[in-house]
Amino acid sequence: MAATLKRDVREAILVAAREAAMAYGYGGINFRDLAQAVGIKAASINYYFANKAILGEAVARRYWEDIARDLEAISTDAQSPMEALRQYPSIFRLSLERNNRMCLSSFMATEYDALPEQVLKEVQSFAGVNTAWLREQLVAAKLVEAKDGNTRALAIYAAVAGAQIIARSRSDINLFDSLVRSYRETGLLPN
């Protein structure tokens, strides 16, 4: 029973920290606010996460692990690699649908100079997971040769993440959709 409660509190802290980071970045992870959201004392968070860097690392790692599972589900459920590529922007759109939130890793990447090394490593892993998946789909769809896959995958990742940033700054999800449509019309994303 105590082990279950401990896991539940740890999980609640991770969820609250993820929400804070998606709204305010790494700088928005504040033990006092998290404790209030979870319903515990701020000092109790240190029982689960010794410091903000360790919590930030855990949140960023969980984020890219969740996205890796989402991407795998897209690959499994899609009829083809082309269809999987068409669905890719939807992952970024979901954040905007949730109170105009932004991809945690994109937000944290803008805080590069302020991030502890272990958090930065996990943020970079998110980009790596996305570009590796995109490269795999692009090659499988025969849209690029394997040697050119990384560059195209990075371009797609950067474009979709950038569309999310611009749409968030205007609190306009329709702008995100418009930009993604534009990427399809110009050939960056499959139509």
**Burial class of 26 by CB neighbour count within 10 A (0 to 12, 13 to 18, 19+):** buried
Q: Could you tell me the pTM of the whole model?
A: 0.91
pLDDT of residue 5 exceeding 90, the answer is no
Q: Assess contact for 44 and 31: CB atoms under 8 A.
A: no
The tokens for 40 are: 């515990």
93: which residues sit within 8 A by CB, 6+ positions away?
A: 164, 173, 176, 177, 180
| Residue 6, C-beta contacts closer than 8 angstroms, at least 6 positions apart | 48
Task: Identify the residue with better confidence: 68 or 5.
Answer: 68
Average pLDDT, rounded, for the chain: 94
Cα distance between residue 61 and residue 64, in whole Å? 5
